[in-house]
Amino acid sequence: MSDRNGRVFVTGAGIVSPLGNDIESFWAHLIAGQSGAGPITRFDASGYETRFACEVKDFTTDGIVDRKDAKRMDRFAQFAVVASHQAMKNANLDLEAVNRDRVGVVMGSGIGGMETFEAQHAVLLERGPGRISPFFIPMMISDMAAGQVSIQFGLRGPNFATVSACASGAHAIGEALRLMRSGDADVVVAGGAEATITPMALAGFSSSRALSTRNDDPQRASRPFDLDRDGFVIGEGAGVLVLETEDHARRRGAPLLCELGGYGASADAYHLTAPSEDGNGAARPVSRAR
């Protein structure tokens, strides 16, 4: 039965980030004002105008994902699985005690498996089409973060991806709210994952003049509201929440971290990247949020 005004709570959170691969270290570094930016180490960026990014450090799937399975996941999907594992642990969610048919996954990703795409394109050019991995498509497509979370933890509720550039993760959380209010799920693991610090992605953003070029001061390059801002700093990672209906959360004694009070979405219908000058694009979803 649906309940459009049913209360939904955040009961757990998990993160993989350039500031730490768990909530505690991430938060400690964040409130200390630290930056995750530094020289790119994942490939040789010496020929690029921008040579720094916010990379995830010391990341591992050990103890969470079988090594064979991990090799069949793009980096963005690995991030999503690890962050989801953390979030469910943080929520004290006992998967043996809940109805997994009513635990959904909604995971946003703007691009998906960019690293896999680039690697397999190189194989095509160098060795021909017969050498492309049979896992190329399953590793690349954006909905594989949600799919792998579902597979790894046996979550059989609604499962899909949201793909809306920078808003992908926020849309995932909002759509999760709608799933629970419509009665389609009791719990939804929702968030976003991205791993686009790759040669093509960096070149593409650089070509569009979107990235900061403060190579001599990467720690202070991300300054979104500064008069001297010269572009954004590309990063990677995953952030995941466990969302639950109030009834379900209270029945199992879950920690109620905060309430998700509403969700609204709209399009500016204005420009590919710039917001509408009068701010109507931000005002409309706020007025719709409920």
pLDDT tens-digit profile of 170-196?
999 999 999 999 999 999 999 999 999
User: Mean pLDDT over residues 125-137, rounded?
Assistant: 97
What is the pLDDT at residue 290?
79
* pLDDT tens figures, 133-163: 999 999 999 999 999 999 999 999 999 999 9
Q: Fold for domain 8-17+56-197+234-259?
A: Peroxisomal Thiolase; Chain A, domain 1 (3.40.47)
Task: Report the percent of the chain where pLDDT is more than 70.
Answer: 98
Q: Taking the CA of residue 47 as centre, how many other CA atoms within 13 Å lie in the half-sphere pointing to its CB?
A: 5
What is the pLDDT at residue 64?
96
What is the pLDDT at residue 1?
47
Give the ranges where 154-219 is alpha helix by DSSP (H): 168-181, 199-207
Give yes or no for residue 275 having a pLDDT over 90. Answer: no
CB contact at 8 A, 197 and 111: no
What is the pLDDT at residue 264?
93
* pLDDT tens figures, 192-230: 999 999 999 999 999 999 999 999 999 999 999 999 999
Domain ranges of the chain: 8-17+56-197+234-259, 264-290
Distance CA 100, CA 21 (A): 26
